[in-house]
């Protein structure tokens, strides 16, 4: 298999975004993360903050509640955002080699033979250490922040893909960044990409 596209799904605080950015530099291919938010904002007229919050997370942690919150007259704003995001990811994937961070890109591109699907995770202690170091302290306990973000990502993924987020069978490889470190994760993915 010749890999052209990499999707990186990740637990909050696992360093998946950092892995993607470092991989982008190493391979010399674009990484789409914040860039998707900017392009969606331009296309939709929606605020970047709204897209950042709703492009990967549900409003609550329960997929069933979120499914019921869509109206029957053309869907919610979040549903429309999902369609815009899906179409943008498909469009960008056609332009050439690239990396996508989150946003259900692994599912959206699941039928492509040239897509390497990666999941980055780490144990709770490593993730807590990372979010406190990178994002600072918060009024919400770090463990609660991690669980809430992951719960909302999981609900979003299930709502729009009818699949379970983080399940090994959905990815080509799952890496523990807490044990391997960011650099080793980058090296492993780059080697697989270049096979």
Gap between the Cα atoms of 22 and 6, Å rounded: 13
pLDDT in tens, 77-125: 888 888 999 999 999 999 999 999 999 999 999 999 999 999 999 999 9
The full set of domains in the chain, from first to last, is 5-193 (3.40.50.300)
pLDDT in tens, 17-57: 999 999 999 999 999 998 888 888 888 888 888 887 776 66
Gap between the Cα atoms of 164 and 147, Å rounded: 16
Gap between the Cα atoms of 179 and 120, Å rounded: 11
**Hey, what are 182's tokens?**
């960011």
Q: What is the pLDDT of residue 73?
A: 41
pTM: 0.86
Nearest CA among 103, 66, 100 for reference residue 85: 103
- Would you give the DSSP letter of residue 61? S
């Amino acid at each position: 298999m010749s890999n052209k596209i990499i999707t990186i799904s990740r637990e909050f605080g696992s360093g998946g975004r950092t892995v993607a950015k470092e991989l982008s530099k190493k391979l010399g291919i674009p990484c789409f993360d914040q860039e998707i938010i900017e392009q969606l904002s331009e296309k939709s007229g929606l605020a970047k903050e709204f897209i950042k919050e709703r492009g990967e997370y549900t409003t609550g942690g329960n997929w069933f509640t979120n499914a019921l919150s869509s109206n029957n007259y053309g869907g919610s704003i979040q549903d429309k955002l999902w369609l815009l995001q899906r179409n943008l990811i498909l469009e960008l994937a056609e332009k050439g080699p690239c990396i996508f961070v989150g946003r259900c890109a692994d599912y959206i591109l699941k039928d492509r033979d040239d897509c390497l699907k990666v999941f980055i995770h780490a144990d709770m202690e490593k993730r807590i250490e990372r979010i406190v170091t990178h994002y600072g302290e918060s009024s919400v306990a770090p463990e609660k922040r991690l669980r809430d973000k992951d719960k909302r990502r999981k609900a979003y993924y299930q709502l729009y893909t009818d699949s379970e987020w983080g399940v090994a069978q959905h990815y080509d490889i799952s890496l523990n960044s807490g044990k391997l470190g960011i650099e080793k994760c980058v090296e492993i993915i780059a080697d697989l990409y270049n096979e």
